[in-house]
Structure 1
Amino acid sequence: MTTPAIRATALNKTFRSTDGTSVVAVEHVDLTVQPGEIVAFLGPNGAGKTTTVDMLLGLTSPTSGTIELYGATPHHAVVDGRVSAVLQTGGLLTDFTVRETIQAIAALHGRPDRVDAVIERTGLAPLASRLVKACSGGEQQRLKFALALVPDPDLIILDEPTTGMDVAARQAFWDTMRADAETGRTIVFATHYLAEADAFADRTVLMADGRIVADGPTAEIRAEYGGRTVTFRPPSHVVDGQGIDEAWLDAVRAAVAPLGVTELEVASASLEAAFLALTSTTEAQEALR
């Protein structure tokens, strides 16, 4: 039997607020990710995504529950170089050049042989001699990604990895990630760019109020919860309807044609619509039942 890349069981995390009350950040989260999967981790602010990511990486301990990465504790998996991360937080050595920064981390991992390969892989060659403090936010994010690749990990966990990148840089980043995924690397990423999750993730996990409210193939979640919209233009106004599939489209066209209706369109199911439905308080509670 293949050992899962991630196995989290009954994870709970509570914090003590300044007034002494307990705040539940993550509640009874079960998550299993198999090697080679590409998983998007979505949820509104305060949903528990970042806390869950921190627990997966061993940066904070669960109040209760267990976590294994490739059968080991998060700490040991990270120390062994099997797991790397690109996080929103965490600074860089601003007075080092890009190359010097990668060389320093490579030395810590005992992998000086990876420096040139990582620079090339992440498109940082033109920036190699630039001081980190002279790099833009997006360029620094690419450098963090390069550092995550130094140990050649089996699993990369990314928390909002393209924050600060422009459209072209985001596209280049995901091109690199797709190439890495094809080699069998496991990728788990949290993002607020729903288009990225829709385009890249085979599987989507949605969190709301500290709990997982949906977990499955991205296309299935989009289809089940996103719905479809039929839009057409009568002579004087626009009418919208939902839930119409392809089988009904020709019938609708035939029915409305005598009325002079034009511009009949069917919009496919939207991950954004599914996200909004599943992470709203009422819908999230219903989905958990």
Structure 2
Amino acid sequence: MTGAAIELSGVGKTFGRVQALQGLDLEVRPGELTALLGPNGAGKTTAIGLMLGLLRPTAGAVRVLGGDPRDATTRAQVGSMPQESALPAALTVREAVTLFARMYPSPLPVDETLALADLLPLGGRRAGALSGGQARRLAFALAMVGNPAVLYLDEPTTGMDAGSRQGFWAAVERLKRGGRTILLTTHYLEEAERTADRVVVMNAGRILADGTPGALRSSIATSHVRFQSDLVLTELQHLPGVEGAEVDERGHATLTTRTPEALLTALVQSGTPFSQLEVTRASLEDAFMSLTGSVKA
């Protein structure tokens, strides 16, 4: 398709006296992995509920794949991996995936779906006997077996160990290369920074920022300079370009600056001994906190 895969135009949503969304405009392009981030209560869940056809907008319009997200034809092209899934505990993994496959007009082959979610060795295990991470992989398989053009991933890696997370994101990358549109919500901002083509930050029902992870990092233009020295906090605060300074009990200093080069030059020229130097650019989490004043996505 040539238009937006997901489009929200002037969308408002109220629950009684609570205004959850206010004139929200958002377009998600086909084949793009978009991370939708925001603090608790930002309106992310409401926005996704509208995209899934689970809610009706109070104002504005929502289109998914050019159609109404509440229509059966549109819903058959959409997969969703919610944060909490009610899995069919008495069925085996293979039986559950086979059952879900029969609900769609053009599903993926069951074995292909199990392999994508790294579940082939667990096909005979009952869903109720899976570990937390394995259950999340089954939820992923159930979201994918319908062969969706649009996929929603809500906190997908919660409960997964490091190896499962790595395998999961490799599978998502394959899906993205295949042209699927993916919308991600996550508290793991480092995952969003590493995997997303685009990041949309929401708060109080509005969009605060929209761009690539690199563009959002650049918007705050800060770096962190860390080293160990004998300088006290007051001396560190007077170094050129320092916007913030902290010193822990072991003498490790962390400085925030927009001009790390000037700061390091002044430090060297002063003749002050220092060690364990580390300079890091602003992260997506830094940008998120700057935009929202929050520490949680």
Q: TM-score range by the shorter chain?
A: 0.7 to 0.9
Structure 1 residue 103 and structure 2 residue 116: aligned? no
TM-score when normalising by structure 1:
0.88
Q: Counterpart amino acid of 1:164?
A: G
Structure 2 stretches lacking a partner, 5+ long: 237-244, 246-254
Equivalent residue, structure 2, for 1:265: 278
User: Residue 257 of structure 2 is aligned with which of 209, 226, 243?
Assistant: 243
Identify the range of structure 1 (132-141 vs 164-173) with the bigger mean alpha-carbon deviation. Answer: 164-173
1:29-54 residue CA offsets vs partner (Å, 9 max, x unmatched): 11111111111111111111111111
Aligned Cα RMSD in Å? Answer: 2.1
Residue in 2 aligned with 1:4? 4
The structure in which a higher percent of residues are helix is 1
What SS class does the counterpart of residue 156 from structure 2 fall into?
coil
1:69 equivalent in structure 2? 64
**Aligned partners of 2:69 and 2:75 also within 8 Å:** no
Structure 1 gaps, min length 5: 17-21, 282-289
* Count of matched residue pairs: 275
The answer on whether the counterparts of 2:12 and 2:58 sit within 8 Å (CA) in structure 1 is yes
Aligned to 1:53: 48
2:43/2:205 contact within 8 Å kept: yes
- Is residue 77–residue 146 contact of structure 2 (8 Å, CA) maintained in 1? yes
- 1:218 aligns with 213
Correspondence for 1:169: 164
Superposed counterparts of 1:250-289, under 5 Å: 251-252=265-266, 254-256=268-270, 258-280=271-293
* Matches for 1:171-250 after TM superposition, within 5 Å: 171-225=166-220, 227-237=222-232, 239=236, 240=245, 241-245=255-259, 248=262
3-state SS, counterpart of residue 65 of structure 1: strand
Tell me, in whole angstroms, the C-alpha distance in 2 between the residues paired with 1:147 and 1:270.
Answer: 33
Distance 1:104 1:225, change over 3 A: same
Match for residue 31 of structure 1 among 26, 29, 32? 26
Give the Cα–Cα distance (whole angstroms) in 1 for the partners of residues 107 and 207 of structure 2.
40
Residues 32, 80 of structure 1: CA spacing in aligned structure 2 closer, same or farther, 3 A cutoff? Answer: same
Q: What is the SS of the residue equivalent to 2:40?
A: coil
Deviation at 1:76, TM superposition (A): 3.1
Q: Which runs of 4+ in 1 moved over 6 A?
A: none
CA shift, 1:264, in A, is 3.4
The offset of 1:177, in angstroms, is 0.5
Counterpart CA distance in 2 for 1:53 and 1:262 is 48
After superposing the two structures, state which structure 1 stretch, 79-88 or 156-165, moved more: 79-88
